[in-house]
Chain A
Amino acid sequence: MSAAHFAATVESRRDLGGGYFILSLHTDAPAPIEDTVPGQFVMVRGDWGRDLLNPRAFSVLEVDGAQRLAILAKIFGRGTARLAAAEPGEPMTVTGPLGRGFAAPRAGCTQLLVAGGVGLPPLLFQARRAAENGRPKAVEMLYGGRGRDDLVLVDQLDAWGTPYALATDDGSVGREGRVTLLLEERIATAKAAGEAIEILACGPTPMLAAVRTIGLAAGVATYLCLEENMACGFGVCLGCAVPVHGPRPYRYCCTDGPVFDAEEVRWP
């Protein structure tokens, strides 16, 4: 594990509306973040004294060299509310990169990136890497949210030439309905054409549960990037257990994941 615990400062905060924001962090001393794999995460904490004791886990949105990284978050509780108010220059501590991320796309097999709301970062990062490697069409983004405000950074997909389809519950953008609707249609197309696909998904747990059911039923390899409460992020607190099938009933989101094979996850 080449992770580090390091000091960083807020370089910028960009509000995206709907409670979403991007926090860009800069570290004076180079940190081992350059080779962060999409799906890996960092633990971030501000100078919060004795209340808000634990750092918060965020999937990495992007890295730039060894001194810059960005996260995308949505205001959800006390921690994200504080981070959403962070000003440039504010000190933070970061632990990471942590966990195991997604595999890169293989030749001849399209990765369907199924993103729901705030589950976007690891999949946008995966799309970015594919584009940087000259293979923007090795992945396809299926991106859903409640409404217009939940679909952020779509312009980046346009810029990279990443194929994508959108869905919103209220029909304000893209197809009206769940993102799993897009997934089911896309699987059907692939099956009809004999196209090799695999599914990478990140989003709210109900969405991931639906993606898992669909992927397993269709016999498509499916990988879920999970989110669990965690205090440390590196395998010590054991708070982020994930129920699995196999020799042991639990594995850990932080060290064994956060990316898990859908077949392994022990969900209803």
Chain B
Amino acid sequence: MSAAPPPAAGLAPADVDLRTRFAGKTLATPLLAASGCFAYGQQFAAFTDLRRLGGLVTKGISPAPRFGNPLPRICETAAGMLNSIGLENVGVDAFLADKLPFLRDLGISVWVNFFGTDFESYVECAERLSVGEGIDVLEMNISCPNIKKGGIEFGTVPEVAHRLTKACVEATLLPIVVKLSPNAGDIVGMAQAVAEAGAAGVSLINTITGMAIDVRKRRPRLATTYGGLSGPAIKPIALRMVHQVAKALPELPICGIGGIMSGEDALEFLMAGARTVQVGTALFAEPGAIARITDELRSLMAELGIPAIDAAVGVLEAIPPEPAYAG
């Protein structure tokens, strides 16, 4: 096996440069809080210094407010959890008026996740969010399993995703990063379709559709029967998809998501080809998880002699082939 590059002599954690470029902006660190796991930020101020985040992604915003799904909405599973919240959110107007000012003043990268219930409302949402001051990225959710009408095609059929992305890109001056669904059959085809439509990058992966059953009650554990699986259980799948897209589309910025709980998890995503990563489910148990993971990433990069994010992104090396079998 080829040896890893020798550690740079005397690299201290403080010397590691965590800045990263994404969608035309520089982030102080590659770590963002994932959509749906950070609400609109305020709740976390009591527990952690929000300025330690590279950025945050808001709860998904739709043109009109949504009330969400019936109970039960969540259930814990092996090394993960299922949710079917139903994209509950305050709607564009209340978001711009009541939630955005707080976020804008934090001095970190602000990504607003958005979605519609049909083609027109996606475009309308992108358009109306564009007037918001302090938004760095619009993250387009074409992959939430918890919405019925049209949701599946947007996230799984490349031509449909292409058309939708193109229309939204034309409706706003803000960069659009498309959050892809792991439920798509061809993740590379989806990434390529949205990249060609003008997406500034892709976030992957969203939750994986799953199910759990209460055998004593003979009922599904979620009111909607199926929900989105998140947490460490999905990390290997997320890494594989990030790697596939990064290999096929080396110029396309990727934000890696899926079960990140440690600095080492984050570095795995960077090495697979992501330039930024999002931390989601871990925030429920540990509101300050991102600050800890940032410290761990910095220490680990110093230990491994990796001075900067660019030196970590996509540096994965192949396992050398075995000598041929000759009996």
Contacts and interface: CB of A to CB of B under 8 A. Distances in A.
Nearest to A2: B46
Contact of A229 (B68, B74, B285): B74
A50 B39 contact: no
Given A235-B39, A236-B37, A5 B75 contact: no
A237 B83 contact: yes
A183 B150 CA distance: 51
B70 interface: yes
B91 interface: no
A54 B83 CA distance: 13
Contact of A239 (B70, B73, B259): B73
Given A232-B283, A237-B284, A51 B78 contact: yes
B43 A236 contact: yes
Interface string A218-252: 00000000001111101111111111000011100
| Residue of B48, B72, B259, B288 with highest tally of chain A CB at under 10 A | B72
Contacts of A241: 68, 70-71, 73
Contacts of B287: 5, 95, 232, 234
Contacts of A50: 79, 231-232, 259, 261
Contacts of A230: 74
Nearest to B221: A229
A124 B284 CA distance: 29
Given A229-B75, A239-B85, A54 B285 contact: yes
B286 interface: yes
Contacts of B78: 51
Contact of A250 (B46, B68, B281): B68
Interface string B46-77: 11100000000000000000011011111110
A203 interface: no
B231 A53 contact: yes
B67 A250 contact: yes
Interface in B271-324: 281, 283-288
A193 interface: no
Nearest to B230: A53
| Residue of B70, B232, B287 with highest tally of chain A CB at under 10 A | B287
B286 A93 contact: yes
Given A53-B80, A53-B232, A229 B88 contact: no
Given A229-B75, A250-B68, A5 B232 contact: no
B43 A234 contact: yes
A49 to B, nearest CB: 9
B71 A237 contact: no
A1 interface: yes
B198 to A, nearest CB: 32
Given A53-B80, A53-B81, A232-B284, A243 B71 contact: yes
B18 to A, nearest CB: 23
Nearest to A248: B67
Contacts of A249: 67
Interface in A1-36: 1-5
B79 A231 contact: no
Given A5-B288, A229-B75, A239 B43 contact: no
Contact of B83 (A5, A45, A239, A242): A239
Contacts of A95: 47, 287
- In this complex, the interface size class of chain B, counting residues with CB under 8 Å from chain A, is 35 or more
Interface string B26-37: 000000000011
A239 B39 contact: no
A53 B234 CA distance: 13
Interface residues of A, number: 33
A52 interface: yes
| Residue of A43, A248, A250 with highest tally of chain B CB at under 10 A | A250
B22 interface: no
Contacts of A228: 71-72
A267 B46 CA distance: 33
Interface in A34-50: 43, 45, 50
B39 to A, nearest CB: 5
A231 B67 contact: no
B226 interface: no
A55 interface: yes
Contacts of B47: 3-5, 95, 234
A236 B38 contact: yes
Contacts of A234: 43, 46-47, 287
Interface of A: 1-5, 43, 45, 50-55, 93, 95, 228-232, 234-243, 248-250
28 contacts: A5-B47, A50-B232, A50-B259, A51-B78, A51-B79, A52-B76, A53-B79, A53-B81, A53-B232, A53-B285, A54-B284, A93-B285, A231-B281, A234-B43, A234-B47, A235-B39, A236-B38, A236-B39, A236-B283, A237-B36, A237-B85, A238-B68, A238-B73, A243-B70, A248-B67, A249-B67, A250-B68, A250-B88
The 10 closest A-B pairs by CB, nearest first: A239-B74, A231-B284, A232-B284, A50-B232, A236-B39, A51-B79, A5-B47, A238-B85, A239-B73, A50-B79
Interface of B: 36-39, 43-44, 46-48, 67-68, 70-76, 78-81, 83, 85, 88, 231-232, 259, 261, 281, 283-288
Given A51-B232, A241-B70, 16 more contacts: A4-B46, A5-B287, A43-B285, A45-B285, A50-B259, A53-B231, A53-B284, A228-B71, A229-B74, A231-B83, A237-B37, A237-B85, A238-B73, A240-B73, A241-B71, A248-B67
